[in-house]
């Protein structure tokens, strides 16, 4: 966007916003400005994105003064019901550009700093699980219709409460998004996606829907990723070819190390015994993950037992109903005048309804236990597994590269020593020294990247410990569900008991009493 604003007066409000958001006249952090806009502009994400693209913000490392003024003018136009465009800016004839409504910007900046800067501080992660939950709420619903002639595929309605958006996504869209996240945030907790299956049934589709919702919830509630343009694009883009569009938009975006202000000073933020602490915390998280999976297995078995009880009660209800409807005549030849069977059938005609109620209650309890206990244990297991994967990526990636760079430097030094001993010619010595200088730069960059990656992993480990707060509420839910479940089931059995007693034949009652004495 080349439009200049010098031909019209700039309101003092524009300068005030720049002074608030800029640090010592430096370009404004893009994520900070996105946060301010997402909280206060009251215009659609699509329009914001249009303004963003029109001003070419993604091509710059920060937002300079001129760019900020153009964005503010476009937002004001949009809030006044006009479509922002370069033509509108060029042809504006007012004395001053309009002033947008951004709310309490100083307060918003303070909130942003608390969530996105102070969170990742030297003293540790300054956030609670309640703070994480407030970052966003994601819901994913399976679209009933399936498309495709030969190969069917499922679509999902993905909704974000924070952005107030709902978009359609396919499983492959999640795959592409996941790949871009790994490239953009290689040292952050990016959980694994649930597996793909060519032939799927309703149970698998529901299981995968739940898993995708957990996955996107963890991503959208990450203190750093939650404000990224990549996530916002995934949650708001409505173009028909979303997968291609997101690739084109973000394929050349550098990773977090290349853009973070903390990359250059990451070494200062690490303790002296970083490697020891990394190894110890890695083992601890692994052990916790194993324990959580065992708890999850037990709870899932409990849900299975609850559903089996529901099915048994439903089957029993059906069998009793069939017996109650038995229609053969009660001839003197068969009964000898005895009405026991008639009385029992009357009882079955009432009791089968109670067993049907028992089935409904048991199924309701099983579903509640799955939602409040198993689903949250699954969420915890997912983020613990993401930590395990992160440590593996770190070990196979940057740590391995660093060791390889050091090894190459050692080989160059050996060649240098051997050359001195053999009296190598000056040209060969110069070439060797040039390679060594290049390798020094590589090692220096690797050391910075290594320090930054370890710093990120330290923060991610602390984030995992914040999520461990879930265990307390999960066990509280487990106890509450069991108390309510057993109370409801006991009440149903108590309702059934008088009916059984009433329709039990009197002779049988007397017979039982005589036997008991």
DSSP secondary structure letters along 401-437: HHHHHHHHHHHHHHHHHHHHHHT--HHHHHHHHHHHH
Per CATH, the number for 12-117 is 1.10.238
Query: Using 50, 70 and 90 to split pLDDT, how confident is the model at 20?
Result: confident
Side by side, which strands form the sheet with 165-170? 138-142, 155-160, 165-170
For the ranges 267-271, 280-284, 383-387, the lowest mean pLDDT is seen at 267-271
What confidence score (pLDDT) does residue 181 get? Answer: 93
- How many other CB atoms are there within 10 angstroms of residue 42's CB atom? 12
Q: Which residue(s) pair with 168 in the sheet?
A: 157
Contact 188, 225 (CB under 8 A): yes
Chain region(s) in the chain for CATH 3.30.1520.10: 135-255
Render pLDDT for 302-360 as a digit per residue (tens, 0 to 9). 999 999 999 998 999 999 888 888 876 655 565 555 667 777 888 888 888 888 888 88
Distance from C-alpha of 249 to C-alpha of 253, rounded to nearest angstrom = 8
Which has more pLDDT, 404 or 261?
261
pLDDT of residue 353: 84
Written as one string, the DSSP assignment of 20-50 is HHSSTTPPBPHHHHHHHHHHH--S-HHHHHH
All CATH 1.10.238 domain ranges in the chain, comma separated:
12-117
CB atoms inside a 10 Å sphere around CB 122: 10
Please determine, for residue 421, whether its predicted confidence score (pLDDT) is greater than 90: no
- Find out whether 250 and 230 touch, Cβ atoms under 8 Å: yes
pLDDT in tens, 58-71: 655 568 888 888 88
Q: Where in the chain is the domain with CATH 1.20.1270.60?
A: 295-326+341-507
Confidence grade of residue 104 (pLDDT, cut at 50, 70, 90): confident
Per residue in 212-262, pLDDT (tens digit) is 999 999 999 998 898 888 999 999 988 889 999 999 888 888 888 888 777
Phi, psi torsion values for 256, nearest 5 degrees: -60, -35
Residue 463 in this model has a pLDDT that exceeds 80: yes
Q: Are 135 and 162 in contact (CB under 8 A)?
A: yes
Predicted pLDDT at 513 = 44
> Cα–Cα distances in Å, from 337 out to 324, 334, 506, 509?
19, 8, 15, 19
- Per-residue confidence (pLDDT) for residue 499, from 0 to 100: 74
With 70 as the cut, is the pLDDT of residue 467 above it? yes
Report the CATH architecture of 295-326+341-507: Up-down Bundle (1.20)
Q: Is the pLDDT higher at 268 or at 214?
A: 214
What is the C-alpha separation between 224 and 34, in angstroms, rounded?
Answer: 13
pLDDT at position 411: 58
CATH fold group of domain 135-255: PX Domain (3.30.1520)
3-state SS string over 77-125?
HHHCCCCCCHHHHHCCCCCECCCCCCCCHHHHHHHHHHHHCCCEECCEE
- Model pLDDT for residues 142-168, shown as the tens digit of each residue: 987 655 555 567 889 999 988 889 999
Q: Is the pLDDT of residue 512 over 60?
A: no
Q: Which of 78, 49, 379, 55 is nearest to 235 (CA)?
A: 49
CA terminus-to-terminus distance, the chain? 100
């Amino acid at each position: 966007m080349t439009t200049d604003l010098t031909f019209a007066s700039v309101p003092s409000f524009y300068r005030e916003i720049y002074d608030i958001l800029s640090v010592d006249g430096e370009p404004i952090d893009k994520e900070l400005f996105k946060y301010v806009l997402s909280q206060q502009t009251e215009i659609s994400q699509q329009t914001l994105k249009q303004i963003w693209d029109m001003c070419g913000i993604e091509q710059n490392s920060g937002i300079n003064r001129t760019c900020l003024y153009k964005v503010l003018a476009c937002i004001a136009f949009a809030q006044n019901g006009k479509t922002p465009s370069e033509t509108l800016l060029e042809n504006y004839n007012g004395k001053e550009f309009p002033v947008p409504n951004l709310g309490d910007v100083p307060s918003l900046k303070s909130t942003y700093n608390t969530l996105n800067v102070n969170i990742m501080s030297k003293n540790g992660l300054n956030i609670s699980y309640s703070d994480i939950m407030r970052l966003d709420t994601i819901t994913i619903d399976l679209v009933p219709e399936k498309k495709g002639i030969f190969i069917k595929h499922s679509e999902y309605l993905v909704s974000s409460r924070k952005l107030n958006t709902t978009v359609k996504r396919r499983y492959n869209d999640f795959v592409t998004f996941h790949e871009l996240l790994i490239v953009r945030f290689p040292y952050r907790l990016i959980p694994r996606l649930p597996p793909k299956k060519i032939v799927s049934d309703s149970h698998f589709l529901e299981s995968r829907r739940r898993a995708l919702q957990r996955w996107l919830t963890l991503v959208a509630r990450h203190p750093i990723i939650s404000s990224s343009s990549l996530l916002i694009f995934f949650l708001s883009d409505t173009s028909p070819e979303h997968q291609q569009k997101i690739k084109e938009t973000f394929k050349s975006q550098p990773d977090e190390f290349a853009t973070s202000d903390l990359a250059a000073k990451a070494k200062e933020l690490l303790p002296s015994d970083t490697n020891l602490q990394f190894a110890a915390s890695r083992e601890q998280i692994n052990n916790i993950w194993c324990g959580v999976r065992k708890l999850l297995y037990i709870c899932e078995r409990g849900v299975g037992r609850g559903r089996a009880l529901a099915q048994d009660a439903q089957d029993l209800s059906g069998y009793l109903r069939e017996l109650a409807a038995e229609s053969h005549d009660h001839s003197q030849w068969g009964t000898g005048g005895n009405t026991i069977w008639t009385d029992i059938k009357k009882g079955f005609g009432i009791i089968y309804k109670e067993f049907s109620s028992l089935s409904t209650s048991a199924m309701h309890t099983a579903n509640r236990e799955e939602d409040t206990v198993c689903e949250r244990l699954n969420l915890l297991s997912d983020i613990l597994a993401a930590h395990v994967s992160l440590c593996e990526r770190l070990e196979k990636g940057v740590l391995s590269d660093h060791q390889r760079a050091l090894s190459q430097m050692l080989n160059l030094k050996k060649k240098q020593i051997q050359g001195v001993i053999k009296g190598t010619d000056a040209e060969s010595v110069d070439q060797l020294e040039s390679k060594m200088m290049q390798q020094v730069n590589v090692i220096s960059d690797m050391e910075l990247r290594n320090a930054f990656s370890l710093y990120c992993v330290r923060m991610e480990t602390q984030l995992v410990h914040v999520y461990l707060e879930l265990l307390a509420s999960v066990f509280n839910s487990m106890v509450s569900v069991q108390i309510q479940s057993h109370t409801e089931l006991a009440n149903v059995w108590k309702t059934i008991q008088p009916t059984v007693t009433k329709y039990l034949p009197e002779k049988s009652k007397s017979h039982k009493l005589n036997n008991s004495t």
